[in-house]
Structure 1
Amino acid sequence: MGTLLIRNARNIITMDGERRQYPGGSLYAVGQEIVAIGYDLPYETADTVIDARHKIVYPGLINTHHHLYQNLTRNIPFAQKTELFDWLITLYEIWRHLRPEDIYVSAMVGLGELLKTGCTTAADHFYCFPNGVSGEMIDEEIRAAAELGIRFFPTRGSMSLGRSKGGLPPDEVCQDEETILRDSRRLIETYHDPRRFSMLRVGVAPCSPFSITADLLRESADLARSYGVRMHTHLAETKDEDAFCLEKLGMRPLEFMESTGWVGDDVWYAHGIYFDDHEIKHLHTHSCGVAHCPTSNMKMGSGVMPLVKMLEAGVKVGMGVDGSASNDGSNMLMEVRVAHLLHNLTHGTTAIGAADCLSIATRGSARVLGWEDDIGSLEVGKAADLFLIDTRQLGFAGALHDDMALPVLTGLTQTVDMTIVGGKVVVKDGRLVNVDEEKLAIAGQAASNRLVNEASLRTKIDYSRMRSDRRYPNF
């Protein structure tokens, strides 16, 4: 096992239960595990030695909700100026052309961006399987994560309720329930690793109440619990979703989830904007987690999660960037900053601080993923997942007064200096260690161009034009 020594740091921000800091401290890890942190450590050499006298060390950020394949459909003009349902309808026409090689490139791009912004663990929700393509898709994401060196939590999503059955997505990106459950079993049996310091865990994740059946939810819950894996889905994201559930199902979204067995400490939802006070208490009672995705929610005009109420009620809340087509980026530090600013505006400047938002993206996210024994803070016995920032960068000038709030409030024009996952350096001097970034960017844009061109040919719609021209008002 390799060893890692970070010595003489300007500060080590642990984000442990007491939010301890170690100005001038050091950290030593053997293999993936931190074995010492603090002062006067009895270690002088290691396989990797980092002089951190001008650097601040933070626990790795944890992304609890993403759709990595959407990295190939960022900044599509025709998908702007839309709310969620119209946005989805527009992009499904592009996503139906996805191929396995596109999934690999998009995952490399998205996970690479996350690493460069201090994220060391990422959960992904993959639910779009066009034209019956199944087995290769999530496997390609897993391959990309392994090559980059990020800790990964893919969830096998699904859509079974196509337009012909009253759902939102086109039938071409949906699958029958037997196929969904069979491939879910395959992925869990092939890849899920529940051991300590695992680099890969797998979950089950039907997409949303408007794209799946109650039967699929029940069977997915039974399957997940038979294997002891976690469960994830979108919930309470928009008013349209509320209206759909009341009209089609006669229940509010959370009530529908509970009727199908989708509550418990093994369940986390994405968004949670429209939970009422009673439902928030219910989330705490059942120990459900929620992924907060502020940038996406703001861009789509979906609303604002009642974050302060959730935290006061004891609900587990983590941070997520959401899909890159509704965020247009995979920047975890930016997500923490946006959360801080959004809730300052919504709840007042004394409700939640920058350090509180950093805690949500570390300890909070680890709890949501059920991974708090391994990750989420820098403590002896936990994984050496961390990032460092060099305080000599221009963006930090005049700001070195509160090290815990520093990366949330300042320096966001720059990437992190270094990212380490499981004791291994994966970003150095702001660059990915294991990939040629320029070649990856070119490959990603080429794949995106092909997808958009194929969708334009099929639908006779020029996706490169602005939707606001209203040439296609009925689309």
Structure 2
Amino acid sequence: MTAPAAPTAPAAPDGTVERTVIENCAIATVDAHDTEYASGHVVVAGNRIESVGAGRAPGGLDGVVRRIDGTGHLVTPGLVNTHHHFYQWITRGLATDHNLFDWLVALYPTWARIDERMVGTAAQGSLAMMVRGGVTTATDHHYVFPRGSGDLSGAIVRAASAMGVRFTLARGSMDRSAKDGGLPPDFAVESLDGALAATEETIDRYHDASFDAMTQIAVAPCSPFSVSTELLRQGAELARRKGVRLHTHGSETVEEERFCKELFGMGPTDYFASTGWLGEDVWMAHSVHMNDSDIAAFARTRTGVAHCPSSNARLGAGIARVPDLLAAGVPVGLGVDGTASNESGELHTELRNALLINRLGPVHRERALTARQALRLGTYGGAQVLGRADQIGSLEPGKLADLVMWNLSTLAHSSIADPVTALVLGAAAPVTLSMADGRQIVEDGRLLFADEDAIAVSTREEARRLARIAART
């Protein structure tokens, strides 16, 4: 069974492909040469980018043509979110002064009471916030599956499909509960066999391996301190047998490193290597506490990293060595992370925070990251991490038409000389237009396939319902 049908690319009544032409805009292609145009055009035909270049679009275009004047705007590839926990949208603002382990212990009892309606509603809230802010490819790492909670994976996939966004569901799992020395309560974990069977069923049901896939699945046991070694090993075998990617948390905190050394006699990177969890089909969330040997292992195996600067700061986890990872050739993208540790839930703010936080590091300082490197992290870097760099992440002919038109003519941006600097270091830029797979999903800052006001009401109601249930247990 495949995922629910995503909104289709536009076609004219006679079957010819519709074209959208954006002109008179600044363009940052984020291609291999970081090609930019001070005033250029992008032509979208169906769900593909047909041409990108300086000046006006070519004449004589066939079919139905929609022309958009991009004066005062910057066009970039759509933002790619590589790590998130959608369900946390309904537990924001809790445990605000905790480190990771204490935060998890405080919140797991509440998360253990989620159900299908809560998860579907929370997914709508998380997706709406990202999509209205320029995300065209989203990822959700969902790993909490309480017994009797319903079809949680289906609820998440349906929410993403309805929003019109490209989506990777990292089907998570946990089988190490508190009784086994882990952090989650017994009620919130699965058995080893149950987790593997459910993950395989999710792959069979939803994964699409095609070039223009709108829904893909990854195998994603939660973390070294919430899953057994056997679940990691067999999860890696399952992913490679099915031809899907692997995702987990790694090297997030000093407490995790201590946990791995005490339990396994080695640090997180060596432990992951021993279980088959390094490789070009793997990406890790956070990777904050990495020594030179760890970075070399990631570079050698082309293991990717989802950098989550706001969440790392919120939990006091530390500053990831992003400049060193990039210099070594490690693929690095950006992640929102769950909104219980990044309440804004927006990826475009991570461009700015990635640049600023990395400049606070002890070595590279003001040369740690440039504005253009930050934009690359949020676009092409994310596409690399998800294994889709041939399809998305840059504006090039033949690639999928996932793009954003940012309004930089506002009071907040109009006097910033360089448009990329304005986008990255300025205030959050309004999104005039966002496309995923050639179909417009945002217009003038509003979602086209969801009612933001209705989502605000429903997420508040579900947050209150979850709080009431958790208080009774």
User: Could you tell me which of 371, 377, 380 is aligned with 1:354?
Assistant: 371
Q: 1:141 to 1:43 in 2, by over 3 A?
A: farther
The alignment's TM-score, normalised by the length of structure 1, stands at 0.93
1:371 aligns with 2:383: no
Structure 1 residue 259 displacement after superposition: 0.9
CA distance in 1, matches of 2:367, 2:276: 38
Structure 1 residue 377 displacement after superposition: 0.3
Q: Is the 8 A contact 1:11 1:21 kept in 2?
A: yes
CA distance in 1, matches of 2:356, 2:218: 31
Secondary structure, aligned partner of 1:233: strand
Secondary structure, aligned partner of 1:453: helix
User: Could you tell me which of 271, 283, 296 is aligned with 1:281?
Assistant: 296
CA distance in 1, matches of 2:132, 2:324: 32
Aligned to 1:6: 21
CA distance in 1, matches of 2:189, 2:24: 51
Question: Which range moved further: 8-17 or 209-218?
Answer: 8-17
Q: Is the 8 A contact 2:86 2:338 kept in 1?
A: yes
Aligned to 1:68: 86
Q: Is the 8 A contact 2:20 2:45 kept in 1?
A: no
User: Could you tell me which of 409, 416, 426 is aligned with 1:410?
Assistant: 426
Structure 1 residue 55 displacement after superposition: 1.9
What is the 5 A alignment of 1:418-437? 418-437=433-452
Structure 1 residue 124 displacement after superposition: 1.1
Aligned to 2:145: 129
Secondary structure, aligned partner of 1:376: coil
Question: What value does the CA root-mean-square deviation take over the aligned residues?
Answer: 1.3
Q: Is the 8 A contact 1:5 1:26 kept in 2?
A: no
* Runs of 4+ with deviation above 4 angstroms: none
Q: Point out where structure 1 has 5 or more consecutive residues left out of the alignment.
A: 459-475
Residues 405-459 of structure 1 show CA distances to partners (whole Å, capped at 9, x for unaligned) of 22111132x542221111111010100011111111000000001111222232x
Structure 1 residue 178 displacement after superposition: 1.2
Structure 1 residue 48 displacement after superposition: 3.7
Question: Which range moved further: 26-35 or 286-295?
Answer: 26-35
What is the 5 A alignment of 1:225-304? 225-304=240-319
1:395 aligns with 2:398: no
Secondary structure, aligned partner of 1:37: strand
User: Could you tell me which of 52, 55, 58 is aligned with 2:76?
Assistant: 58
CA distance in 2, matches of 1:423, 1:42: 20
Give 1:375's aligned amino acid. I
Give 2:260's aligned amino acid. C
What percentage of residue pairs aligned between the two structures are identical? 38
Question: Which range moved further: 16-25 or 318-327?
Answer: 16-25
User: Could you tell me which of 374, 378, 386 is aligned with 2:403?
Assistant: 386
Residues 265-289 of structure 1 show CA distances to partners (whole Å, capped at 9, x for unaligned) of 1011000011110110011111100
Aligned to 2:343: 328
Secondary structure, aligned partner of 2:21: strand
Secondary structure, aligned partner of 1:9: strand
CA distance in 2, matches of 1:87, 1:297: 13
Give 1:398's aligned amino acid. S
Q: Is the 8 A contact 1:28 1:43 kept in 2?
A: no
CA distance in 1, matches of 2:126, 2:250: 23
Give 1:24's aligned amino acid. S
CA distance in 2, matches of 1:49, 1:233: 43
Aligned to 2:195: 180
Secondary structure, aligned partner of 2:37: coil
Q: Is the 8 A contact 2:28 2:37 kept in 1?
A: yes
Q: 1:344 to 1:313 in 2, by over 3 A?
A: same
CA distance in 2, matches of 1:133, 1:178: 18
Aligned to 1:100: 116
